[in-house]
């Protein structure tokens, strides 16, 4: 998992692609994503080192959604 500022990037087959929250949003458009739901999901994540990739992904969704709001 690599993150750069506003951009999120993970190689194909990265462990994050198997995370339930990643799978929940991975095939959605920004129009389909409810920012409140993403924020609620982010609040449920345990804030530890193994969770860093999903925190980065959900944070990226929130920031990108904000760009088009």
Our separate counts of H helices and E strands in the chain read 3, 2
* pTM across the whole model: 0.87
pLDDT (tens digit, 0 to 9) for every residue of the chain, 69 residues total? 554 556 788 888 899 999 999 999 999 999 999 999 999 999 999 999 899 999 999 999 999 999 997
Residue 22 main-chain phi, psi, to 5 deg: -65, -50
Query: Read out DSSP for 28-45?
Result: --TTT--HHHHHHHHHTS
Residue appearing with tokens 């709001």: 69
């Amino acid at each position: 998992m690599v993150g750069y500022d506003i951009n999120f990037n993970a190689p194909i087959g990265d462990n994050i692609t198997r995370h339930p929250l990643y799978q929940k949003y991975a095939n959605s458009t920004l129009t389909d994503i409810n920012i409140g739901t993403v924020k609620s999901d982010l609040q449920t994540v345990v804030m530890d080192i193994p969770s860093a990739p999903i925190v980065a992904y959900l944070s990226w969704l929130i920031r990108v959604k904000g760009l088009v709001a």
